[in-house]
Copies of this chain bind each other. A is one copy, B any other.
């Protein structure tokens, strides 16, 4: 007898077939109706039990969380809420779940409570839906790039270079921490360390991806990156996944076109493939927001918001235009910004980005041509000598979701910028080589995957869209 997944039973299995199904009990009503789920889909299959045929001790073990195997016949359902159900002939208990101690009982749990139970929280509808959407988004990303002529490139995780300066790094070592070997000068001697030098966890695969783009043309990374920053916010993780495409012969315009098309296509993919999960998450968000004052509620429901992104052009605005808008904005004049905008050159804070996206333009915004001084050394200097070909994509409710740039391909300009910032040429000899030999216009961007999942699922805390979050003081599981 063939074993089916719940998803198959609900969608593709002919009626009146004898079926076997394994899953976990969601609920057991009236000693008669088992709602069974195996994770393959949000929906449960109803299993109808004639309790007089079964041993009482067996029925007692059918409680929320128990794993069971059911044999029976798939029939049209008489009840409301489902098209098909199983008339049960036989039940085997794989493993019970004591209602007194099993924490995931069928009632509302706070997200904070569930964070402490990260190994079990994925058994709730909310987290299962989030993680299925996360998986679908991951695949959509690979599919998009592969169909568009990109090659997947695995950037190194352990790096001997700390030149990018994107953030604080974690040290990776095998030295005896209590009695490390010392140099004559009394410093810890990393020549004796595993890699013969000091090594850290990567903050970005971009520089290495550039090396690969300058040979394979178009590449992308999709891997973990790290920040050792003591940021306890709902938008920061110490370990997160990042997607970094890098393209030879792309200027900033082509880069912006790609980023916008990419985001639209991967969101379209989940609209096409995760409808039930997204509908569930939309309802969850509506319920959550009912407890909030009107002003804090979302203007659009989740699906409407996702469709809006897919169907509308992102607004492209230079930094200089954005500063003008902000300088003349109501909150700036009324001194409502914590960081007032007075002069060109100011770094934009989250409050400014939110104003632009949520109040002024009311759509995703691509800001570009930022002042060189507030951006990284590798971004291409414009002819004005003071701005660089950088772009950030800002999303409602999320803030920066993409940061990218056209890269400085001119050896002399790059060297000048590195010298001005005190970045050692020796350390980045290989990165400079890319400008010595066959250099060309090229561009790329980075997208924080968890921020995309946050946006796509309507969840409010980044800790709730990654299976086992790593944050300051927390590396459980």
- Given contacts A177-B188, A188-B177, whether A216 and B475 have CB atoms under 8 Å apart is no
* A404 on the B face (CB < 8 A): no
Among A204-249, those with CB < 8 Å from B are 208, 211-212, 214-218, 223-224, 226, 228, 230, 238-239, 241, 248-249
Query: Is A75 at the interface (CB under 8 A from chain B)?
Result: no
Asked whether A178 is an interface residue with its Cβ less than 8 Å from the other chain, the reply is yes
Check if A337 is an interface residue, CB within 8 A of chain B. Answer: no
**Is A131's CB under 8 angstroms from B119's CB?**
no
Query: Which A169-210 residues have C-beta < 8 A from chain B?
Result: 170-175, 177-178, 180, 186-188, 194-197, 199, 201, 208
Indicate if the CB atoms of A131 and B223 lie closer than 8 Å.
no
Shortest distance from the beta carbon of A10 to any chain B beta carbon, whole Å: 13
Are the CB atoms of A477 and B208 closer together than 8 Å? yes
- Contact code string A427-465 (vs B, CB < 8 Å = 1, else 0): 000110111111111000000000000000000000000
Q: How far is the CA of A171 from the CA of B409 in the complex (A)?
A: 37
B434–A156 CB distance below 8 A = no
Q: Say whether, besides A170-B172, A188-B178, A208-B468, A196 and B95 are in contact (CB < 8 Å).
A: no
- A132 at the binding interface (Cβ < 8 Å): yes
- Chain A interface residue count, CB cutoff 8 Å, equals 109
Contacting chain B: which of A96-104, A303-311, A416-424? A96-104
> Does A161 lie at the interface of the complex (its beta carbon under 8 Å from any beta carbon of B)?
yes
Query: Does residue A374 face the partner (Cβ distance < 8 Å to B)?
Result: no
A473 at the interface (CB under 8 A from B): yes
A467 and B174 within 8 A (CB) = no
Indicate if the CB atoms of B156 and A239 lie closer than 8 Å. yes
Chain B contacts for A318, CB-based, 8 A: none
Q: Does the CB pair B65–A438 fall under 8 Å?
A: yes
Give A120 to B218 CA distance when docked, in angstroms.
15
Contact between B142 and A437 (Cβ–Cβ < 8 Å)? Answer: no
23 residue pairs from A and B, CB less than 8 Å apart:
A7-B149, A39-B215, A67-B214, A69-B249, A94-B440, A94-B441, A95-B439, A98-B436, A102-B436, A102-B438, A119-B211, A119-B434, A120-B215, A122-B212, A123-B214, A134-B152, A154-B224, A160-B476, A170-B173, A194-B230, A195-B475, A208-B467, A223-B223
State whether A131 touches B151 (Cβ < 8 A).
Answer: yes
Contact assessment for A472 and B194 in the assembled complex, using a CB-CB cutoff below 8 Å: yes
Cβ of A415 within 8 Å of any chain B Cβ, yes or no, is: no
Contact among B38, B170, B435, B470 for A217, CB-based, below 8 A: B38
A313 at interface (Cβ–Cβ under 8 A)? Answer: no
A231 → chain B closest CB, angstroms: 12
Q: Given A156-B239, A467-B154, are A228 and B177 neighbors across the interface (CB < 8 Å)?
A: no
Residues of chain B within 8 A of A160, CB atoms compared: 475-477
- Check if A139 sits within 8 Å of B128, measured CB to CB: no
CA A7 – CA B127 in complex, angstroms? 42
Task: Verify if A398 is at the interface (C-beta below 8 Å from B).
Answer: no
A20's nearest neighbour on chain B, judged by CB, is B249
CA distance A307 to B119 in the complex (A): 41
- A170 — nearest CB in chain B belongs to which residue? B172
Q: Provide the residues of chain B in CB contact with A395, threshold 8 Å.
A: none
Which of the residues B216, B239, B241, B470 comes within 8 Å of A131, measured between beta carbons?
B216
A131 to B219: give the CA distance in the assembly, Å. Answer: 10
The one of B226, B437, B470 that contacts A102, using a Cβ cutoff of 8 Å: B437
A66 at the binding interface (Cβ < 8 Å):
yes
A153 on the B face (CB < 8 A):
yes
Question: A248–B38 contact, CB under 8 A?
Answer: yes
